[in-house]
Amino acid sequence: MRRHLIKKLCLVFGPRFPRIWLILCPVSVVVLIVLSSSSSTSFDSATLTVKPDIYANYRRLKDQAVSDYLDLTSLSLGVTKLKEIKLCGREKEHYVPCYNVSANLLTGFKYGEEFDRHCEVSKGEPYCLVRPPKDYKTPLSWPVGRDVIWNENVKITKDQFLSSGSMTKRLMLMEENQISFRSDDGVKDYSHQVAEMIGLRNDVEFYQAGVRMVLDVGCGFGSFGAHLLSLKLMTVCMAAYELTGSQVQISLERGLPAIIGNFNSRQLPFPYLSYDMVHCAECGILWDDKDGLLLIEADRILKPGGYFVLHGSSLSTKKGSMASPIEEFARKICWTFIAQQEETFIWQKTVDPQCYLSSIQGMIPPCREEREDIPSYYQPLASCVGGTTSKRWAPIQNRSSRIQQDEFYEDFESSLSALRNYWSLLTPLIFSDHPKRPGDEDPLPPYNMIRNVMDMNARYGGLNAAFLEEGKAVWVMNVVPIRARNTLPIIFDQGFAGVLHDWCEPFPTYPRTYDMLHANGLLSYLISERCSVTNLLLEMDRILRPEGWVVLSDDVGSIEKARSVATQIRWEARVIDLENGSDQRILVCQKPFVRR
């Protein structure tokens, strides 16, 4: 009888059993065991139903039963178990893709372009997971973490610290295992001075005077930006990529908004009319270089009536005799020189777009055929003035007309409401209370280390608005994909930080700089663009700090692909059903602190 049965099976499958049957047989037994015990468990489907009371104290994703069940579901769907992705070498602990000066020079980039971002040069590099430094420590909670960081978390040496300027050494204290940032009256005095120079009584009046969005170019280690943030001004630090002692890396480690970028050969990934003030204090940029193209780019992102603040010892301190090329070119782009005190100079952009149509010889003409729905993403620097025909052209002193009704804005309220409702499901999951960590001094909510948040498909900035409404002490980098609708102008007009980005490429930031990554609909969008979901999650892993969170919302197929990759990179993952009959699912993941 037994031999007869084997002969029948051999007739069907051949002399050898397919390997899949060797897997499915034990799997079937386990499935029967799980199903038989379903009455005594709370898991009766492949996805979970969100119930805030169940997850009120949820901290780590340790539910092995659900993980096993989802693995079985994957096998039944034909998803093969992939090998885990290996760790990168120690030399890549602070790795930032797309910034390889040597490779750029060999490719032929020169005249400063070799320092720009060139992702096409580094394509095809093998997969690996960027590991943290050996003595990496979880950052302290905000606001303590703003003033104290672990020196092993960033790449700066004591020699670099000692060779920095006197201002930096006065504001920083480098101890055995941590760096402290002192509250310095000099920063407050400087901020007060800038306010007085533009006609205000003190810097507390910045906000009411229309200065709410500030781009701090070459920000040092963020002390000026930290002070402006305390005044409710959204201040974004922007500095060029640095191999060590990075201004952007240290600012982000402190919980301050920052991004890698520089005025060099291409336009910045911001829309026209983005900032109320562009500030440069000893930022190292030669503004009169390249026939004034760098000043034209500063004008492009500066709002009407906005201020360009320049501070540095390289400028003449004799009144009326500052570097003449800058002053001469400022007049050509309709900037008015309004004040000078010692080494600080301030210009104000015109509020009249007709100024650029002047027949005065040498005036820089306005650009033709501007379209705000087409983002200018790393385009060559323009030799014309942009934004003059924009519907968003309005003086910063007139805030009431800043957000105009247009084809995007009519969907804003419904999008915001949907995001708030959806986020209310996750708030008990993410922002659960737990005891303070050693060294914390009564941190403000949230208590679980979330400060730097990125919304990878920000749409209208609804997630950012929802965080504000909930009173969370976070800031959000709102990212708008370049081939999606360009809603970034609306995000900026709400006073939120944001940037354009191509998610088929790495993001311009250092490893371990964000505490939470959120994306709604990004996976299916990238799949439609034929971009790699694996590459995306590897990049998310690079920029996410250990124990950081990932929240992805998308259709079932996209979420299943992402969950498969999450297993490869050893994230703890859970799929959640929205409980509304939708085919949308939420994937919540946490990056482990230690990964071997």
> Which uninterrupted H or E stretch holds 259?
strand 258-260
pLDDT at 444 over 50: no
- Segment 159-189, tens digit of pLDDT: 666 555 445 555 678 788 899 987 777 899 9
- Segment 238-277, tens digit of pLDDT: 999 988 878 999 999 999 999 999 898 889 999 999 999 9
pLDDT at 376 over 80: no
pLDDT of residue 46: 30
pLDDT of residue 507: 96
Give the highest mean pLDDT range of 53-67, 122-136, 534-548. 534-548
- Segment 133-153, tens digit of pLDDT: 999 999 998 888 999 999 899
- Choose between 289 and 188: higher pLDDT: 188
pLDDT of residue 42: 28
The span from the CA of 223 to the CA of 251, in Å, is 9
**What does the pLDDT average to over 31-54?**
35
- Choose between 225 and 38: higher pLDDT: 225
Place of tokens 């499935």: 31
pLDDT of residue 576: 84
What are the start-end ranges of the E strands in 503-571?
A: 514-520, 544-555
User: How many Cβ atoms are within 10 Å of 286's Cβ, its own excluded?
Assistant: 12
- Segment 315-336, tens digit of pLDDT: 644 444 445 678 889 999 999 9
pLDDT at 407 over 70: no
Q: What is the mean pLDDT of the chain?
A: 78
- Segment 196-216, tens digit of pLDDT: 999 999 999 999 999 999 999
**What does the pLDDT average to over 347-355?**
94
According to DSSP, the β-strands at 572-577 and 584-590 are antiparallel
- Choose between 44 and 560: higher pLDDT: 560
Name the pLDDT band for 52 (thresholds 50, 70, 90). Answer: very low
The span from the CA of 150 to the CA of 98, in Å, is 27
Which pair of tokens denotes residue 366? 């306005």
Q: Which of 33-37, 409-413, 552-556 has the lowest mean pLDDT?
A: 33-37
pLDDT of residue 428: 65
Which pair of tokens denotes residue 337? 């020189």
The span from the CA of 470 to the CA of 488, in Å, is 23
The span from the CA of 175 to the CA of 158, in Å, is 9
Alpha helix segments (H runs only) across 454-509: 462-470, 488-493
- 3-state secondary structure at position 277: strand
> Which uninterrupted H or E stretch holds 173?
strand 172-174
- Choose between 58 and 481: higher pLDDT: 481
pLDDT at 431 over 90: no
Quote the pTM value.
0.82
